[in-house]
């Protein structure tokens, strides 16, 4: 069954499972069932976290405190401590070209997820500090980039004579760690990072949901969508589980030299999903000389920058197009503005209609050029549907790791780089 309709999302893999991988795909799908059953017997914290109600109350309480007197909220965190939250706040328009016009509840949201001296210096402008709140997020409690930003923020607040306890809060892993020590000393509140859930899988915890809540996204709706994806994973026959089909399909194509996976949404409000997926897939599966390379794209803009390669370049990619069926159509081109023959085809048509046509055109062109392409059609970009798609891709990643016989939840190469960077900083300060 290659075309599966769920309540709010359709997964069509008909043109993604090509003849050259059909046999290996079937074999991998059978193995995926074994992977699924192992997690049914021993559910991950990622799964059981969805039923947690206590953390929602704690988030709500802290969120109300953060919003008091805040015109800006700056999230200090990198990678999994930031990208998932960006996906969720984008549901309400954050980070889109029109974000300044979006009427979202709460203050302006800024994610300082990269480390850049000039950018962060501007964020610490003393004139704005009195109305700025910081949320620092680190599971380890010692992420180098985040600790550097926090240290600079605390310095700036102290210099401005502001109470750090009223301007800083955070999320940290349990046990003894640097962030907890700093928070105790500076007397600012911390929420606990969910145990057993790594950063790139933490989007459905307070890591992703606290910023989302501040931007008016309903965390309960997000978790309900994720729960529906999980229920399908746990209960449906393996041939009807979109995440199992996706994992088997991706690994089968990788075995046939298609080791690049392109994720291309056709809506601004899913742009950050591509960045989150890129980390999830790359950091979970790039081990022991294995893995496929995730590439994030955005339609229609990347039709002008990447599709030439997709159609005319090497056949080394699997394509995943995501559309939103009922998203806002936008304005229409009226006849009086299009009364020349060259623009007659635009008369009375909306921007949304053109985007939909271009998505279908890209899909059709890929199909006609014998490029494997999966179409994921969401009804709309809502907390529920985004929660579903986030859980779907986490499950797809976890199953793929099982098929590859690797650990999806560690990142030894990343840790190696962190150790070297800290050593270099220590040596240069002596």
Q: What is the pLDDT of residues 173-226, one digit of tens each?
A: 998 999 999 999 999 999 999 999 999 999 999 999 999 999 999 999 999 999
Give the active site residue among 166, 287, 367, 418: 418
Q: Is residue 418 annotated as part of the catalytic site, yes or no?
A: yes
Residue 255 confidence (pLDDT): 96
Please choose, from the candidates 294, 287, 247, 271, the residue with its C-alpha nearest in 3D space to the C-alpha of residue 393: 247
Calpha distance 391→208 (Å, rounded): 13
Q: Choose the weakest-confidence range: 80-84, 197-201, 286-290, 409-413.
A: 409-413
Give the active site residue among 68, 103, 304, 427: 304
CATH number of 3-42+220-413: 3.40.50.10490
Tell which phi-psi region holds residue 330, choosing left (phi > 0), alpha (psi between -120 and 50) or beta.
Answer: left
Residue 418 confidence (pLDDT): 66
3-state secondary structure of 135: strand
> How many Å separate Cα 136 from the centre of its chain?
18
HSE-CB for 197 with a 13 A CA cutoff: 24
Q: Is the pLDDT of residue 234 over 60?
A: yes
Residue 102 confidence (pLDDT): 65
* Higher local confidence (pLDDT), 318 or 327: 318
Contacts of 106 (CB under 8 A, 6+ apart): 67, 70, 73, 214, 215, 216
Calpha distance 168→412 (Å, rounded): 31
Pairing outcome for strands 72-76 and 108-112? parallel
User: What is the band of 349 on the pLDDT scale with cuts at 50, 70, 90?
Assistant: confident
User: What is the band of 425 on the pLDDT scale with cuts at 50, 70, 90?
Assistant: low
- Are the C-beta atoms of 239 and 4 separated by less than 8 Å? no
User: What is the band of 111 on the pLDDT scale with cuts at 50, 70, 90?
Assistant: very high
Fold match between 3-42+220-413 and 48-217?
yes
Per DSSP, the residues of 364-395 read HHHHHTT--EEEEEES---HHHHHHHHHHHHH
Contacts of 295 (CB under 8 A, 6+ apart): 260, 261, 262, 263, 278, 317
Q: Residues in the chain, how many? A: 430
Give the active site residue among 167, 283, 375, 384: 283
Top-confidence range, 90-94, 103-107, 310-314, 333-337: 310-314
* Higher local confidence (pLDDT), 348 or 42: 42
Percent of the chain with pLDDT over 90: 83
User: What is the band of 293 on the pLDDT scale with cuts at 50, 70, 90?
Assistant: very high
Residue 154 confidence (pLDDT): 97
Which ranges constitute the DSSP H helices of 50-116?
Answer: 54-67, 83-89
For 258-275, how does the pLDDT look when each residue is reduced to its tens digit (9 = 90+)? Answer: 999 999 999 999 999 999
Q: Phi then psi for 211, rounded to 5 degrees?
A: -60, -40
Q: Is the pLDDT of residue 104 over 60?
A: no
Q: Is residue 253 annotated as part of the catalytic site, yes or no?
A: no
Span 100-124, average pLDDT: 86
| Sheet of strand 3-5: strand arrangement | 3-5, 9-12, 373-378, 317-324, 260-265, 293-296
For 57-95, how does the pLDDT look when each residue is reduced to its tens digit (9 = 90+)? Answer: 999 999 999 999 999 999 999 999 999 999 999 999 999
For 8-34, how does the pLDDT look when each residue is reduced to its tens digit (9 = 90+)? Answer: 899 999 999 999 999 999 999 999 999
Average per-residue pLDDT for the chain? 93
**pTM (predicted TM-score):** 0.94
User: What is the band of 390 on the pLDDT scale with cuts at 50, 70, 90?
Assistant: very high
User: What is the band of 374 on the pLDDT scale with cuts at 50, 70, 90?
Assistant: very high
Calpha distance 163→188 (Å, rounded): 9
Calpha distance 57→239 (Å, rounded): 38
- Are the C-beta atoms of 132 and 153 separated by less than 8 Å? no
Residue 184 is encoded by which pair of tokens? 């105790």
For 143-185, how does the pLDDT look when each residue is reduced to its tens digit (9 = 90+)? Answer: 999 999 999 999 999 999 999 999 999 999 998 999 999 999 9
Domain ranges of the chain: 3-42+220-413, 48-217
| C-alpha R_g of the chain | 23
**Burial readout 63-91 (b: 16 or more C-beta within 10 A, e: otherwise):** beebeeebeebbbbbbbbbbbbbbbbbbb
Q: Is residue 145 annotated as part of the catalytic site, yes or no?
A: no
- Evaluated on CA atoms 309, 392, 143, 287, the torsion sign reads negative
Residue 332 confidence (pLDDT): 83
CATH number of 48-217: 3.40.50.10490
């Amino acid at each position: 069954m290659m075309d599966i309709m769920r309540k709010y999302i359709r997964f069509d893999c008909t043109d993604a499972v090509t003849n050259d991988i059909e046999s290996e795909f079937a074999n991998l799908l059978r193995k995926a069932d074994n992977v699924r059953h192992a997690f049914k017997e021993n559910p991950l914290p990622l799964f059981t976290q969805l039923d947690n109600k206590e953390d929602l109350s704690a988030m709500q309480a802290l969120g109300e405190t953060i919003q008091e007197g805040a015109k800006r909220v700056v999230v200090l965190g990198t990678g999994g401590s930031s990208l998932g939250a960006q996906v969720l706040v984008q549901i309400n328009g954050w980070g889109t070209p029109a974000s300044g016009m979006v009427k979202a509840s709460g203050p302006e949201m800024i994610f300082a997820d990269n480390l850049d001296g000039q950018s962060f210096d501007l964020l610490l402008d003393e004139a704005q500090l009195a109305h700025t709140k910081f949320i620092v997020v680190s599971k380890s409690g010692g992420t180098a980039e985040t600790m550097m930003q926090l240290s600079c923020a605390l310095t700036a607040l102290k210099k401005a004579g502001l109470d750090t306890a009223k301007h800083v809060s955070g999320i940290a892993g349990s046990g003894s760690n640097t962030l907890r020590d700093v928070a105790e000393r500076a007397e600012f509140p911390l929420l606990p990072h969910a145990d057993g859930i790594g950063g790139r899988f933490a989007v459905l915890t307070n890591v992703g949901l606290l910023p989302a809540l501040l931007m008016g996204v309903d965390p309960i709706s997000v978790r309900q969508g994720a729960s529906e994806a999980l229920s399908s994973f746990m209960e449906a026959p393996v041939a009807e589980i979109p995440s199992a089909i996706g994992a088997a399909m991706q690994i089968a194509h990788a075995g046939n030299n298609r080791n690049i996976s392109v994720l291309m949404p056709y809506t601004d409000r899913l742009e950050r999903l591509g960045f989150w997926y890129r980390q999830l897939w790359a950091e979970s599966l790039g081990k022991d000389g294995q893995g496929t390379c995730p590439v994030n794209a955005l339609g229609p803009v990347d039709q002008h920058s990447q599709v030439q390669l997709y159609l005319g370049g090497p056949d080394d990619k699997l394509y995943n197009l995501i559309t939103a069926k009922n998203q806002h159509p936008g304005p229409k081109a009226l006849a009086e503005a299009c009364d020349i023959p060259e623009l007659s085809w635009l008369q009375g048509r909306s921007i949304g209609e053109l985007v939909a046509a271009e998505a279908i055109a890209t899909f059709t062109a890929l199909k006609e050029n014998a490029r494997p392409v999966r179409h994921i059609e969401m009804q709309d970009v809502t907390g529920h549907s985004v929660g579903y798609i986030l859980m779907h891709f986490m499950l797809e990643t976890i199953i793929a790791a099982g098929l590859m016989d690797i650990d999806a939840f560690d990142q030894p190469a990343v840790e190696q780089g962190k150790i070297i960077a800290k050593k270099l900083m220590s040596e240069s300060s002596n």
